[in-house]
Structure 1
Amino acid sequence: MKRKKTILLIALLLLTSGIFYYTTFFSYQPSEELSSFPIPKKAELIEVNRHAGVYSWASASEENGIPFGYEVVLKFNGWEEQAREGASVIYSKEDTQINVISQTELLTVRKMK
């Protein structure tokens, strides 16, 4: 009986891990314009200029910042948080810096000079 519970627990853990991995890592795509910085697939581009993109994204929040899963994807892809001031966070990778501003249902991603 104890062995069945252990096997069931391991199976549940593997299933949960698999779902987390799938929903996290397949929910973002690299942006060529922003040096392969991951952008949420569900984010809708509403404004673009030479250095920035503004996205409508329901998961963006000014109070809570970006979701934990997005932070995991950024870290996994080599982006390190350099500075944080309010809703603005600067990430860097090699010689590239990206400024992410998370507001309520609005995400601004800007390549720094």
Structure 2
Amino acid sequence: MKWRIWLFLMVMMGATGSQAGEINLSSATDFTRLELLLKDNDRPHSALEMAVTLSPEATERMQRISRELIGQKLTLSINGWKITTATVHSVLGSQFRVFIPKAIAKDLLPTLVD
């Protein structure tokens, strides 16, 4: 399976610029598949890795928003929790990975099972 990898090596908490776009995804309606890597001793870092496959409707929304924001900041929220803000370098597709800071994951994880 070919994944478009959305890697955020430097996670920023909150938007650093006033022109950041936003997308809020709902795990209940926008995700068709969700995989969560909670621990990997070979790659220690202070974040959890989440691989997501979006529904067709959410994919269309993600593509439209990311296309409009190439070269600009995009804030990703899941279930209302701001996960990260990063610069968009290309149009994002239906599959991506995101690193979630552990401090946010503690609050976000319970919302993923609903």
**Quick one: higher RCO (CA 8 Å, sep 6+), 1 or 2?**
2
* TM-score class, shorter: under 0.3
Q: TM-score, normalised by structure 2?
A: 0.26
Q: As a proportion of its length, which structure holds more helix?
A: 1
TM-score norm. by structure 1 comes to 0.26
